[in-house]
Every structure is written in structure tokens, then in C-alpha cells.
Amino acid sequence: MSQQMQWLRQWYGLVKCLSWFPNPLRYRFCSYVAEQERLLLGMIQVSPFNRTHSTWRIDKVVLDKRSDKQAIGSQLLRYCFESILEARTWILEVDINDIAALALYRQNGFQRLAEMTYWEISPELLAELARTEPDLPNLLPVSNADAQLLYQLDTASMPPLVRQVFDRHTHDFKTGLFGAISDAVEQWATKTEVVSGYVFEPQRKAAIGYFQLRLDRQGETPHIATLTVHPAYTWLYPELLSQLAHLAEDFPQQSLQLASSDYQPEREEYLERIGAKRIEHSLIMSRSVWHKLRETSKFALEGIQWSEVLQGLQPTRKPIPGGMSWLQRGHQPQSEPHVTSEPEINALTSHNFHLEPSSLGNLPDTQQELD
């Protein structure tokens, strides 16, 4: 934390200047610190999760061991909730065994969204998977023209609650000019190479599988893969893993890491069957904007009685039952009926008609009169 804070202090002027006007770097270094008497007590780093900035992610929360972690952490979190007004939902990922962090986030309104399991495939297992030729005849490279297909695949691959929290749209799967330049610089600096592709289903004209593989050219860190598979095409897992293994053959032998969620049981079953190793278990938590409204005194809902809220809907006097009313006999319809258009119908339905009562003696007595 001290090294990162020194870097932030050194570039504080530039970062502050970039945050004053809209630009691609505006949210790159969105960090807040808690200090007391020049003593650093904690730091939080957040970033937008989607292009519309409706969902924000808490990337990092670092707290000093000598401070009250619950109090300082809550102050940092609440400051973000109150200052970033465009955020409707907040998400984060925390180690399932970190009891203190789980207590901090639950205290501030975060709830469980999904469980994530991270797997590691050893180099020997990768070599074994590479012996099989993948059966992917419609494997295509990814471009901005395929954003709609990838968005539909992403929508179908997750349950409605997760999809609502993530709130991703078509433009979230497109890469702009600045994003392409930033990714190229990052790959050059980290000595990595990113390969991506998707499987196209020509009959349904839809994407049924997608992968992105980040390969380390120096052989110092594991390769990292991201998979998205349509729930109706889970037979793609062996084919996609074989394709990833073939791509990793041209690079230094390293293990391959990928993740699976609890709503993807077929992926977890396949990884267990081939002998992949579980290395981490985490929890994705989310916090809705309604928690923020409850915490603000202006919108506090505690203590409000429904009788006070619904005063205008209460009857002013006791209702008295009245008599039955009957419609009078109308005129005979004309030979050419008038067809009422839709605007006229809407106008008629918005008026209140007054019905004149008629006596029972005016009712027809015979079937001829009814005709």
C-alpha cells in the first residue's frame, strides 16, 4: 500500500486534472485514502464495471493493521457510495475465507450474488489435452462487428439476477481506438499476448462459445483464460480446452488458470473430470442503490406509517349502498356503421359517463320487443 500511495502522490496533479473533464483516462485511477494526522489508515480503489457506469466495482480495499478496520473500511465505502451518484449497483469479489472482509461488506449492505472457483491446469495436463484435435469448424476471430453476437451469448450464459447486476450492453463488447492502443501498450509492457475467438452456429446465426487467452511470452506467470459457453452447448468445453492447449504450445510451458461460477455446474464437472486443481474460492457480492437511499436521512423509510403515506386514498365518509341503475333503450344503428378510430377510443375511455336510471316498467316484455 505504501508503494502505491507514493506513486499516487507523485502523479496526483495529473490524475486530478484528468478527472475534471470527460476523457478515456478519467476513471483509470479512481482511488480514495483515509488519513489521520498524516498517518495513512486505509485506501480504496474503484472503477466502472460497464460502459454506462450503472455498475461500479470495488477493486481493492487496503486497511492498516493498527487502525479500526471496520470503522475505516466503512467510512471509505460510504464515501464512494455518496460521491459516485451515477452508480446504481456496486459489486466486488472477496475470498470466501476472509471472515473480516466478509463482515465489513455485509455490514455495509453487500449480499451474495455468485460463487467463483478458480482452477489450474498443469503443463502436463495441457500437453495431454493438446493431443486431441479440436472439432471447431466455425471458429472465428473477434471483431467489433461481432459485438451483438457476443452480447447475446453473454446474456444467455448467466441467470437473470446476475445479468441485471452486470447490466452489460452491446457496446461493452466493442473496443475503441483508445482501448486498442491501451491494450497494445499493456501487452508490450507485460510481455503478454492476447488471443480471442468465438464459435459461430450457422443454423441459428448465433455465437455459442467464446474464449480469450492471455499468454505469457516470458514463462514467468501462468496463462489466463476466459470462457463463455451457451448453456445448451456444454459439449464445447472439451473442444475449447483442446484449442487453448494448442495455442499454448508455442509459448513457454506454464499452467493455465480459468474460473467457473456456481451457475455453471457442467464446467466444474468437466474440470474435475480431467483433473484440474482448485486453487481459490471467492464470493461475488453486490449492493443495490436502495441501500444508499435507506441510509440517507432524506429518504429514510424507517418509522413511516402507511396511514400517513396513503392519506389521500382514505374514504372521506362511510360509503352508502345505492340502488341499481339501468341503461335506457338506445336508437337503432344506422345502415352504415361508424368505425371509431383508436384515438377516439382512447378519448372515450378517459371520460366519465353519467347513466340515467330508468324504471323497470320500460323493460321489454316479449322476445319480439327484444329483437
User: Any bridge partners for residue 36, and if so which?
Assistant: 39
Note whether residue 178 is domain-resident.
Answer: yes
pLDDT of amino acid 18: 67
pLDDT of amino acid 134: 92
What sign has the CA pseudo-torsion 230, 233, 237, 241? Answer: negative
251: left (phi over 0), alpha (psi -120 to 50) or beta: beta
CATH number at residue 216: 3.40.630.30
Give the residue numbers spanning the domain of 230. Answer: 113-285
Note whether residue 121 is domain-resident.
Answer: yes
Rounded to whole angstroms, the Cα distance separating 48 from 316 reads 51
pLDDT of amino acid 357: 44
| Number of separate domains in the chain | 1
Q: Kindly state the cell numbers that stand for 192.
A: 503478454
Q: What is the mean pLDDT of each run of 10 residues along the chain (371 residues)?
A: 68 70 67 82 90 93 86 93 92 94 94 95 94 92 95 95 94 88 87 95 94 93 95 95 94 94 94 95 89 46 48 59 52 44 34 40 46 45
Note whether residue 187 is domain-resident.
Answer: yes
Note whether residue 119 is domain-resident.
Answer: yes
Note whether residue 151 is domain-resident.
Answer: yes
In order of 295, 298, 302, 308, 310, the CA distances from 305 in angstroms are 18, 16, 9, 5, 9
Note whether residue 236 is domain-resident.
Answer: yes
pLDDT of amino acid 322: 57
Note whether residue 301 is domain-resident.
Answer: no
Note whether residue 350 is domain-resident.
Answer: no
| Stated pTM of the model | 0.73
Q: Which residues contact 59 (CB under 8 A, 6 or more apart)?
A: 45, 46, 47
